[in-house]
Structures are given as C-alpha cells and as structure tokens.
Amino acid sequence: LTGTITAPVTPFSKGKVDYADLKKLVAFQIKGGIDGLVPVGTTGESPTLDYDEHLDVVRAVIAEARGRVPVIAGTGSNSTHEALHLTKLAHEAGADAMLLVAPYYNKPSQEGLFQHFSELAEATDRPIILYSIPGRCGIEIAVGTVERLRAKYPHVRWIKEAGGSVDRVDQLKQALGADLTVLSGDDSLTLPFMAVGAEGVISVASNLY
C-alpha cells in the first residue's frame, strides 16, 4: 500500500450512483498504472451515500478491479458502532484494506481515539490505514496514539496524513521508522512529505492525471 493510490469520485446521474461510469473510472485508473483505489472516502461522497449505496460502491469497485490493484474501503465514522458495521461488511465484500478516519465533530480524547480504533482493528485482520485530518475532524491522531496502536495491532501500520505539516510526518517517521508507512493526504504536499519519509499519496488529482 504505497505509491499513488486514487480516492475515486463517485459518479452520479439523475440523483443516483452511476455504476457504469464508476466501472469506467476504475478501468481508466488501472490502465493508467495506479497503485490502489479508495472507494467511498470523502472524495467518493461517503457523507452523502446511504449504507446500501456505500457498500454497493465498494462492491462495484472490487468487482471491476478484479484483484489487479488493492481496494481500500473507506469505512470510518464518528460513531464507533457505524464504523464497525461498515468495516465488517467491507471485509465480507472482499476489500483488501480499510481507511479509518478519526471521529469527526466528537473530538474524543487520545484514549478515546485509541479505544475507537482498537475496536475496529479487532473486527478485521486486513490492513488498516489510519486517517488523520485535524482540519476536518477537529482532532489529530497523536504520534503516541499511533505508536500504541502499531504496538498492539500488526495490521495497523499505515497512516494517511492530511494535517499539512512536514514536521508531523517527520515526527511519525522518527518515532516509528519503517514500522509505519505514511501516505500524503494532500496532493500538493506529496513531494515534501516524501522528502522526510512518506511513501506515497492517496490522491484526488489522480482521478484525472
């Protein structure tokens, strides 16, 4: 789970998900040499899709990818119960990994974050990418919390870092080194992040380029 991973948009037509166009987008991405796909991240309209649509989009991307690239399902929520439900269903659908955003709006303590992610990590043995985006969530996943999760769960060894700070990426790599793979969550910061140890990007721009 490194390199350029696309967070695909979810195409709509007449107010409904356009699965034909979604399949075309997946095919376009794979033909272009992309390293992975993250359906139903926020770029993929996760806040506005209902449960059925959310899982149907994940299943459609898995079906079209046909194992050619990893499919990382966005299954995070500010409700632990909801995130757990989506994570289990995405696991059953065949997702290769999960992207789990910090609980937004709630602003839990770091212990609360640890307990939230722990419960989710225990629901799947597939790779988990933590997603820290304090500008949207109002809270950062602290380096110490990442260390605790990494120590307890071998499959929690990735983080999508969207805090806009090169120093923060450097701190994560200084603390965990090769035990943690950092992915940029901001296209424009990918190069400076990689200069201090990040190993790729979960990209929006790659929908087009």
The residues annotated with a catalytic role in the active site are 131, 160
Please state whether beta strands 12-13 and 16-17 pair in parallel, antiparallel, or not at all (unpaired). antiparallel
Q: Which long-range contacts (CB under 8 A, 24 or more apart) does 162-169 make?
A: 162/131, 162/132, 162/133, 162/135, 162/136, 162/186, 163/132, 163/133, 163/134, 163/135, 164/135, 164/189, 166/192, 166/193, 166/195, 166/196, 168/140, 168/143, 169/193, 169/196, 169/197, 169/198
Cα 22-23-25 angle, rounded to 5 deg: 65
Strand, coil or helix: 202: strand
**Residue 98 near residue 126, CB atoms below 8 Å:** yes
Continuous segment of H or E residues that includes residue 201:
strand 200-203
* Residue 128, φ and ψ in degrees, nearest 5: -115, 130
Beta bridge partners of 101: 131
Sign of the alpha-carbon torsion through 180, 153, 99, 133: negative
